[in-house]
């Protein structure tokens, strides 16, 4: 009986020792492998289409891990397999809908047109790539040359970026602004200080270009709100420029500004636009071993370019030159550049005092804002050091008034101050199309200009025989090419020092300066009109002072109702 029962038990054992269904396991692995390929594609594609890479990776992983567990733990094989498929398919469908909304129609995936293209081309064949030309040679933040991409979506982004950069550089834009505006991206150029609208981009195209430029400049693609700054270089023809990429969030979306840094990155004082007499005065001031020199101007007057040019003119091998900056506009060879970041235990005045104690020959502050540090600068300049500072100011007297307020010691200021500069930028007439003309005698008399001189201005609009406008290829129809600075200089001599020490009223300083025969900013600018550099209209535009705000009207008396 025992032997028969044991035989029956043995007969019930399976013929094989393998307890897993190979077919089911293969089906699960195949489905998991397909999901894994999609997850890898999402990781790469999120970067290409400039969307949130980390959140989408987390979303894909967050859907995939529970789906795998449910597929393995649900007792019914087919229900487990279907559960995995539904969870992962829903997540990937959501991503595809999202990414297709960011790209152009011809680069959407899993749409009827996309599937039709795949069917016509064959799934095994490589997709035919869009023809793209390299009109602007690019080098990224890593200084490596950028090759034309081979991935279709990134190739389209590269082509759109090439179009924008080529157009902007060809038109000599110093700034390119991309601002989201609903379903479009507004694009404006700043050419010779004037804002020019360019044809905008569809929002997906604008976002694609923005993402490509951020990647090119080495910026964090995931950061959409906080400001970021990066750089890359571009070459068009024989001209190479450095381009700064500035990004930051706004209520409408992420905005971008490209700052094109050209020849001004190597300017010295003779390149700025000083007259012969002014340049001689500047050179004399630069050879004076100690004292304060104040440079001033309103926003966008080229003040930073001027003060960096002065630094480059000094011999940095023979002089110990140090700067204190909020942000480095330019990198200066053999100059110690301190970037000041305020903190609770670190003020600008303390940092400035520390630098003074290191005993440099010159200290340069491209943007001086701290009143506490002003007396420190004057004391250092009175003893042995040369101090260059830059301030906002409408003219020399306005800048001097600001400096007087900051120093709060007229005697100390008078002892240490050497000169105050003020400047503007004027556009230079295009030499290819500028037009000679004779202004009305009344206008010449009002501007104190000679009656027998030949003057120039931008040309009148001309048309061909078909009525199409003829556009100068040198200036693109603006009438101007490039800019130069105009300066006024308030030199501080012994007489002016006495005026400052006695009271320092701006009206008294103006009177003293007028008696010396010093010309104002407009008079200096008109010298560039006489030599054909610029036009009377341009000088009037940049030297016209803003009208003071009108006082609010008194409320009208109301008549009581009867």
pLDDT digits (tens, 9 = 90+) for 5-31: 556 655 555 555 555 678 778 878 888
pLDDT band of residue 177 (cuts 50, 70, 90) is very high
Domain-wise residue ranges, the chain? 22-118, 137-261, 265-429+483-529
User: Higher-confidence residue: 50 or 236?
Assistant: 236
The rounded distance, in Å, linking the Cα atoms of 282 and 278 is 6
pLDDT at 166 over 90: yes
pLDDT at 127 over 70: no
Q: To the nearest whole percent, how much of the chain has pLDDT over 90?
A: 52
DSSP letter (8 states) at residue 549: P
Of 42-46, 430-434, 501-505, the range with the highest mean pLDDT is 430-434
The arithmetic mean of pLDDT across residues 173-192, rounded, is 94
pLDDT at 551 over 50: no
Which of 263-277, 393-407, 443-457, 497-511 comes out lowest in average pLDDT?
A: 443-457
pLDDT at 554: 40
Q: What is the mean pLDDT of the chain?
A: 86
Secondary structure class of 460 (helix, strand, coil):
coil
DSSP strand pairing (291-297 vs 386-392): parallel
The rounded distance, in Å, linking the Cα atoms of 153 and 107 is 6
Burial status of residue 237 (CB atoms within 10 A of its CB: 0-12, 13-18, 19 or more):
exposed
Which of 47-61, 261-275, 369-383, 452-466 comes out lowest in average pLDDT?
A: 47-61
pLDDT at 15: 55
**Residue environment code for 195-231, b if the CB has 16+ CB neighbours within 10 A, otherwise e:** eeebebbebbbbbbbbbbbbbbbebebeebeeebebb
pLDDT band of residue 553 (cuts 50, 70, 90) is very low
pLDDT at 304: 93
The arithmetic mean of pLDDT across residues 416-420, rounded, is 96
The rounded distance, in Å, linking the Cα atoms of 261 and 253 is 26
Which of 251-255, 356-360, 496-500, 558-562 comes out lowest in average pLDDT?
A: 558-562
pLDDT digits (tens, 9 = 90+) for 371-391: 999 999 999 999 989 999 999
Fold of 137-261: Beta-Lactamase (3.30.450)
Which of 164-168, 424-428, 514-518, 535-539 comes out lowest in average pLDDT?
A: 514-518
- Rounded to 5 degrees, φ, ψ at 452 are -100, 10
pLDDT at 121 over 70: no
Which of 93-107, 192-206, 232-246, 471-485 comes out lowest in average pLDDT?
A: 93-107
Locate 119 and state its tokens. 């069917």
The rounded distance, in Å, linking the Cα atoms of 532 and 529 is 5
pLDDT at 557: 39
pLDDT digits (tens, 9 = 90+) for 309-335: 999 999 999 999 999 998 888 999 999
pLDDT at 355 over 90: yes
pLDDT band of residue 122 (cuts 50, 70, 90) is low
pLDDT band of residue 216 (cuts 50, 70, 90) is very high
pLDDT at 8: 63
Q: With contact defined as beta carbons under 8 Å apart, do 346 and 369 qualify?
A: no
The arithmetic mean of pLDDT across residues 147-171, rounded, is 90
pLDDT at 49: 72
Instruction: Calculate the alpha carbon distances from 302 to 64, 422, 503 in Å.
Output: 56, 10, 32
User: Higher-confidence residue: 489 or 85?
Assistant: 489
pLDDT band of residue 288 (cuts 50, 70, 90) is very high
pLDDT at 156: 86
pLDDT at 135 over 50: yes
pLDDT at 118: 65
**Residue environment code for 31-41, b if the CB has 16+ CB neighbours within 10 A, otherwise e:** bbeebeebbee
pLDDT at 419 over 50: yes
pLDDT at 449: 80
CATH number of 265-429+483-529: 3.40.50.300
Secondary structure class of 225 (helix, strand, coil):
coil
The rounded distance, in Å, linking the Cα atoms of 378 and 417 is 8
Q: How many CB atoms lie within 10 A of CB 287?
A: 9
pLDDT band of residue 224 (cuts 50, 70, 90) is confident
- Rounded to 5 degrees, φ, ψ at 238 are -100, 5
Query: Which stretches within 218-319 are classed as H helix?
Result: 276-287, 303-313
pLDDT at 105 over 90: no
Which of 13-17, 343-347, 487-491 comes out lowest in average pLDDT?
A: 13-17
Q: With contact defined as beta carbons under 8 Å apart, do 200 and 185 qualify?
A: yes
Domains 137-261 and 265-429+483-529 share a fold: no
Of 47-56, 394-403, 498-507, the range with the highest mean pLDDT is 394-403
pLDDT at 31: 81
Q: With contact defined as beta carbons under 8 Å apart, do 381 and 292 qualify?
A: yes
Secondary structure class of 453 (helix, strand, coil):
coil
The arithmetic mean of pLDDT across residues 289-294, rounded, is 96
């Amino acid at each position: 009986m025992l032997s028969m029962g044991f035989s029956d038990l043995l007969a019930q054992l399976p013929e094989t020792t393998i307890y897993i269904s190979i077919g089911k396991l293969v089906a699960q692995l195949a489905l998991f492998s397909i999901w894994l390929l999609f997850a890898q594609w999402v990781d790469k594609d999120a970067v290409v289409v400039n969307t949130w890479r980390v959140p989408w990776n987390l979303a894909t992983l967050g859907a995939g891990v529970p789906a795998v567990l449910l597929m393995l733990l649900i007792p019914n094989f087919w229900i487990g397999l279907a559960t995995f498929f539904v969870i992962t398919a829903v997540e990937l469908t959501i991503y595809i809908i999202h990414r297709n909304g960011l790209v152009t129609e011809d680069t959407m995936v899993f749409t009827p047109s996309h599937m039709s293209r795949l069917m016509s081309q064959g799934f095994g064949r490589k997709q035919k790539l869009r023809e793209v030309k390299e009109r602007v040679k690019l080098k990224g933040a890593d200084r490596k040359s950028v090759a034309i991409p081979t991935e279709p979506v990134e190739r389209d982004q590269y082509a759109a970026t090439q179009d924008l950069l080529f157009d902007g550089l060809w038109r000599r834009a110093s700034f390119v602004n991309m601002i989201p505006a609903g379903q479009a991206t507004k694009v404006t150029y700043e050419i010779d200080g004037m804002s020019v609208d360019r044809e905008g981009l569809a929002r997906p195209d604008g976002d694609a270009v923005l993402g490509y430029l951020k990647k090119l400049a080495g910026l964090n693609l995931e950061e959409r709100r906080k400001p970021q700054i990066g750089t890359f270089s571009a070459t068009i023809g024989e001209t190479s420029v450095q381009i700064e990429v500035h990004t930051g969030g706004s209520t409408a979306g992420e905005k971008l500004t490209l700052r094109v840094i050209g020849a001004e990155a190597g300017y010295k004082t003779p390149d700025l636009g000083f007259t012969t007499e002014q340049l001689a005065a500047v050179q004399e001031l630069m050879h004076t071993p100690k004292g304060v020199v104040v440079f001033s101007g309103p926003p966008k007057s080229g003040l930073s370019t001027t003060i960096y040019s002065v630094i480059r003119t000094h011999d940095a091998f023979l002089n110990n030159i140090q700067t204190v900056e909020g942000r480095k506009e330019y990198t200066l060879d053999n100059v110690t550049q301190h970037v000041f970041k305020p903190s609770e235990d670190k003020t600008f005045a303390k940092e400035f005092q520390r630098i003074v104690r290191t005993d440099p020959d010159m200290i340069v502050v491209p943007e001086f804002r701290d009143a506490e540090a002003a007396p420190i600068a004057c004391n250092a300049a009175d003893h042995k050091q040369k101090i260059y500072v830059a301030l906002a100011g409408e003219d020399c007297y306005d800048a001097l008034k600001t400096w007087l307020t900051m120093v709060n010691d007229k005697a100390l200021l008078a002892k240490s101050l050497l000169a105050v500069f003020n400047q503007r930028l004027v556009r230079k007439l295009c030499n290819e199309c500028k037009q000679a003309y004779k202004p009305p005698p009344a206008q010449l008399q009002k501007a104190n200009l000679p009656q027998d001189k030949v003057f120039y201005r931008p040309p009148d609009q001309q048309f061909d025989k078909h009525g199409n406008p003829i556009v100068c290829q040198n200036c693109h129809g603006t009438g101007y090419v490039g800019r130069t600075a105009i300066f006024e200089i308030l030199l501080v001599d012994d007489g002016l020092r006495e005026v400052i020490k006695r009271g320092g009223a701006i009206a008294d300083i103006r009177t003293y300066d007028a008696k010396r025969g010093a010309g104002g900013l407009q008079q200096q600018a008109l010298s560039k009109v006489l030599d054909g550099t610029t036009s009377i209209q341009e000088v009037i535009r940049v030297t016209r002072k803003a009208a003071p705000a009108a006082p609010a009207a008194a409320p009208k008396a109301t008549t009581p109702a009867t």
